[in-house]
Structure 1
């Protein structure tokens, strides 16, 4: 029996706010009804064959545009905007291990944000069509934080290693050059900008 399009919004929300054409056709909707509803002001088409209400959060739509669901700090930030400031500059998504062609950036709220993909079929299936579950998002965020700290520390050590030869050259020039004072020493060098930024990110060099 054909189902009236007036129920489409309610039925799609019963699927968590995202429903496939196959699911809606099984409920009795026609393809013409789906086409008209998908072009309406209260609805939106995600990827081909997937439908959602117009008020679906932009972060969820961007995650689908990138081929995944919300994950990590992006999923946490959607529930609590103050939970993760990194979500302002990055969009963390989770995709199955079989996924491919993940874009580097996606449009979100009028600007391009960098996509950070978490590759895990189990994590991808842990939550809903909007995003991973809370426990998975917290675990992913902790892993990302550890990785960011390790990367920042490595950048700091690399910057310091590049600065040391120059410091030694200056020291030799002062203490052994023509007219040098045997007791002269060079003042300590200020941290290089890259190192200083890395140190701040990792809360100090280690």
Structure 2
């Protein structure tokens, strides 16, 4: 499903779930079964930078040249509101951040901020890791587009507004908090191999136009 645009994200959000979040083990199994696949759109879990196994698994598609990577930046959480995988929380992370319309574990907000903070260096590192680990094909990854998800349309969100004035399906947990903070952090990135001038790679960050729409500059 190459060419996953902002419009495509909006359309899918209004029709329901984007699809499953694929673990590295599943991706690892799919790669060898799709030796000719050249375009892919897939959702994976972001884990504060500890998801390298997922990027390694994506390199198992030997002829993949266009990849639209949806990163779910909402932290994984268990039934007792602890992070998955379980880790020891600091005293500050163990508190709750609450207001008139929300009541969330502080660690959950903190982890989401960390997951959403994708800069040029990280975008290029993900591209390079996948490209350098591809084997068995003459053509390697040429374009990677990263779409960070932070509960847009309520996608994958375990928390929702407790205020009747904030629609549950609009921004999930971040509607009453400050959705724009996460929207500003979680801009899309497009990284391409400069095959013409052989000058390495270049990364372009999306910018928002009037009305909150995104565009590439």
Q: TM-score, normalization: structure 1?
A: 0.23
Task: State TM-score, norm by structure 2.
Answer: 0.22
Name the structure with the higher strand share. 2
Name the structure where helix makes up a greater proportion of residues. 1
Q: Which has the higher contact order (CA 8 A, sep 6+)?
A: 2
Which of the pair has more CA radius of gyration?
1
